[in-house]
Amino acid sequence: MAAVHSRTPAEGNPPPVFGRASGDARAASRPAWLSTAALQPSDEPQRIADLRGFGLLDTEPDEDLDRLVQLATVLCGTPLGALTLVDSHRQWYKSRVGLPVQQVPRDKSFCAHAIRDPDRVLEIPDVAKLGWADPQPWGPKGPTLGFYAGVPLRTREGSAIGTLCVMDGVPRRLTDSQRDGLAKLARAISSHLVLRRQLRIATETDRLTGLPNWFHFEAEFDHHKPDRGMVCFVRLKTINQIGSAHGFRVADALIRQTADRLRVFGDRGAFLGRIKRGLFILFFPQARPDEFARRQAPELAGSLGQPYAVNGLSLVCPVTLGFASFPDDGGTLDEVVNAADTALQVAIEREQPMAFFDRSVDNVLSTHFRLEPQLRLALERSEFVNHYQPKVELATGRIVGVEALVRWMDPQRGLVSPGEFVPALETTGLIGAVAQKIMERAIDDWRGWRDAGLPAPRIAVNVAAAQLRHDDFVPALQRALAALDGDPSAIGIEITESILIGNMERAIEVLRQVRALGVPVAIDDFGTGYSSLAYIVTLPIDELKIDRAFVMKITSDPAYEGIVRTCVALARGLHLSVVAEGVETAAQAAALRALGCEQAQGFFYSPPVPADQLARLLEAGPFRS
């Protein structure tokens, strides 16, 4: 052991160098402490975690580090040099000079022993004198190793993650100035790596949760190059409301707890990321859609659905999940993430807890979003116009109300059917802005009819689900009524049963506020929804509109006549007005009148018409029975 420099670990410790001898005799004489387990520092798990945290393993060459390694070889006058990283079972060269391979097994690594004492330079003047060391650790075609000197790269309290080392093919020793210069270079590299890690954490890590941000998530995906898996978006549904009710610190604490719950899946191999305040992304490598839907998806939803304990509060924050399969739903990360986002938007729109990407739905949604720029331009140019269809009192033939229906007057195409653009307005979130314009124009038209001395009927305006969910809906209605000095006799609203199902409690509260303004509420398409009889007695409404599907067959099928009779009786029992939609013949009108229905609406009386044509119908007086 005289070949080992005096600045190696103190006498009495195991010999501070090792290699691999060739031949049975050398193998037999190899000390037992040379096993991989014996070479591990006492804090090996923490050291490996520290190494992985730098994100250097298996990365592309780095010009700055390459230059520092070259400087080390020039300083020490050696033909070989490297910046090594000692992983669990290998030594990997981040930068190298004169070495033919990128890595060697850890049990052939001198650096693996150097890191056991991170405060000293390990120098082996003559490798051959060890007796058992392999002089060609890089293979028979590689250079012969005669000399080694390595300085540990210490990046925290504890062991080092690797070394800055220089080597030669012949025995030799470093001068004191060379050894001191090599140690200073190693310290400079350690500081450089720590600063780079801090910069990477600052730019690639979410400060609130410590999870990777989108850029880090993307880099992880690109680095691992998975061949398949599942992408998941996690949206905290009520995080903004929780912040408003309890303060942003409580909301932040809940977000951090959500991140902790997601880390459980990260420990099992999923990639994690936080996109923005209440939105997370996960990628489950190798997961397949069917198995994922049976196991991981319900487990994820169940974990996130448990109450959160924050500052003595027990809070529940519902989540919405969107899933997509890679590469089935997208061949690149961008494509599959877009697919997962589409699934998330579908789940939000349908008010479902989760949704998997559906290409047929995506095709429809893509069409809607391709139409979005035209719709926005149409909104700016006031191309959306109101048409009005009369509601006729069956007993007298008088027009007692009208329904406002949106139409798109496209300069190139003319009048566009609502079926072509209304779903796109809902998908793209434009429905609220368009609906507000419809209401404002309806009030202007109503005032115009009144000022012309006509019996201006109440105008019913349809309300979409997105509007009912929006906090500004009732204030917007108040602003619209302000144009009439608060007189509510001009406006009513109509909603469908399907809108109510998603959040019945929220809908009831909003409708109560609407009625408190004196604005009546009608249920449209009654009888086709899921909650007709179960909830109708609790809803704050004034009018039922019987769906056209029942009216169409009222004169030809006794079963449909019975349905209409039941609806009319129900409305009477609840003291509600009742309107039959889709009346197209005199026979249907007569049958409805005989059943006690109060009002009718349909092409038998008039199709939806512009405001000026509706004025002429008002001037003409009652329809004949």
- pLDDT tens-digit map of 100-115: 999 999 988 889 989 9
* Token pair for 344: 């998330």
**397 vs 536, more confident:** 397
* Band of pLDDT at residue 495, cut at 50, 70 and 90: confident
Instruction: Please give the average per-residue pLDDT across 453-474, as a whole number.
Output: 86
32 pLDDT exceeds 50? Answer: no
* Band of pLDDT at residue 31, cut at 50, 70 and 90: very low
CA distances from 416 to 39, 378, 434, 452, 571 (A): 77, 12, 15, 30, 35
Closest listed residue to residue 582, CA positions, set 605, 557, 616: 605
Task: Work out the burial of residue 498: count CB atoms within 10 Å of its CB; fewer than 13 is exposed, 13-18 middle, 19 or more buried.
Answer: middle
pLDDT of residue 366: 55
| Residue reference for tokens 């096993």 | 35
Instruction: Please give the average per-residue pLDDT across 469-483, as a whole number.
Output: 84
* Token pair for 430: 């434009």
| Percent of the chain predicted with pLDDT > 90 | 51
**358 vs 568, more confident:** 568
Instruction: Please give the average per-residue pLDDT across 27-36, as a whole number.
Output: 41
74 pLDDT exceeds 60? Answer: yes
**CA-to-CA distance for 574 and 229, rounded, in angstroms?**
54
Task: For 117-126, write each residue's pLDDT tens digit.
Answer: 888 899 999 9
Which one of 176-190, 216-230, 478-492, 545-559 scores highest in mean pLDDT? 176-190
CA distances from 468 to 243, 495, 590 (A): 21, 9, 36
pLDDT of residue 90: 94
* Band of pLDDT at residue 23, cut at 50, 70 and 90: very low
pLDDT of residue 502: 57
pLDDT of residue 222: 86
Task: Work out the burial of residue 8: count CB atoms within 10 Å of its CB; fewer than 13 is exposed, 13-18 middle, 19 or more buried.
Answer: buried
* Band of pLDDT at residue 418, cut at 50, 70 and 90: confident
Contact partners, residue 25, CB within 8 Å, separation at least 6 = none
**CA-to-CA distance for 47 and 483, rounded, in angstroms?**
71
Closest listed residue to residue 152, CA positions, set 176, 178, 121, 180: 121
Could you give the dihedral angle defined by the CA atoms of residues 599, 600, 601 and 603, in that order, rounded to the nearest 10 degrees?
-150
528 pLDDT exceeds 70? Answer: no
- Which range is least confidently modeled, 47-51, 333-337, 365-369, 479-483? 365-369
pLDDT of residue 190: 94
76 pLDDT exceeds 80? Answer: yes
pLDDT of residue 134: 81
**341 vs 366, more confident:** 341
Domains of the chain: 24-202 (3.30.450.40), 214-357 (3.30.70.270), 367-615 (3.20.20.450)
Gap between the terminal Cα atoms of the chain: 118
**CA-to-CA distance for 195 and 188, rounded, in angstroms?**
11
Average pLDDT of the chain is 85
Instruction: Please give the average per-residue pLDDT across 16-24, as a whole number.
Output: 38
Could you give the dihedral angle defined by the CA atoms of residues 323, 325, 330 and 333, in that order, rounded to the nearest 10 degrees?
80
pLDDT of residue 573: 87
Task: Work out the burial of residue 533: count CB atoms within 10 Å of its CB; fewer than 13 is exposed, 13-18 middle, 19 or more buried.
Answer: exposed
**CA-to-CA distance for 507 and 485, rounded, in angstroms?**
26
pLDDT of residue 39: 65
- Which range is least confidently modeled, 260-274, 281-295, 397-411, 483-497? 483-497
* Band of pLDDT at residue 206, cut at 50, 70 and 90: confident
* Band of pLDDT at residue 367, cut at 50, 70 and 90: low
Closest listed residue to residue 148, CA positions, set 32, 5, 27: 5
Catalogue the E-assigned strands of 470-623.
Answer: 491-496, 521-526, 543-546, 577-580, 599-600
Task: For 314-353, write each residue's pLDDT tens digit.
Answer: 999 999 999 999 999 889 999 899 889 988 988 887 778 9
**CA-to-CA distance for 173 and 154, rounded, in angstroms?**
23
Beta strands 90-97 and 80-86 are antiparallel
33 pLDDT exceeds 50? Answer: no
Which amino acid, residue 57? Answer: L
pLDDT of residue 432: 81
Inter-axis angle of helices 333-350 and 214-224, to 10 degrees? 130
78 pLDDT exceeds 60? Answer: yes
Instruction: Please give the average per-residue pLDDT across 579-596, as a whole number.
Output: 94
Question: How large is the C-alpha radius of gyration of the chain?
Answer: 38
The single-letter DSSP state of residue 197 is: H
pLDDT of residue 500: 66
pLDDT of residue 503: 64
Closest listed residue to residue 165, CA positions, set 194, 145, 141: 145
Dihedral pair phi/psi, residue 453, rounded to 5°: 80, 15
Q: What is residue 165's three-state secondary structure?
A: strand
66 pLDDT exceeds 60? Answer: yes
**CA-to-CA distance for 253 and 308, rounded, in angstroms?**
9
The single-letter DSSP state of residue 456 is: P
Please check whether residue 231 is in contact with residue 326, taking contact to mean a CB–CB distance below 8 angstroms: yes
Instruction: Please give the average per-residue pLDDT across 374-384, as a whole number.
Output: 87
Q: What is residue 15's three-state secondary structure?
A: coil
**CA-to-CA distance for 517 and 623, rounded, in angstroms?**
32
364 pLDDT exceeds 70? Answer: no
Alpha carbons within 13 A on the beta-carbon side of 213: 12
**CA-to-CA distance for 462 and 438, rounded, in angstroms?**
9
Residues in the chain: 625
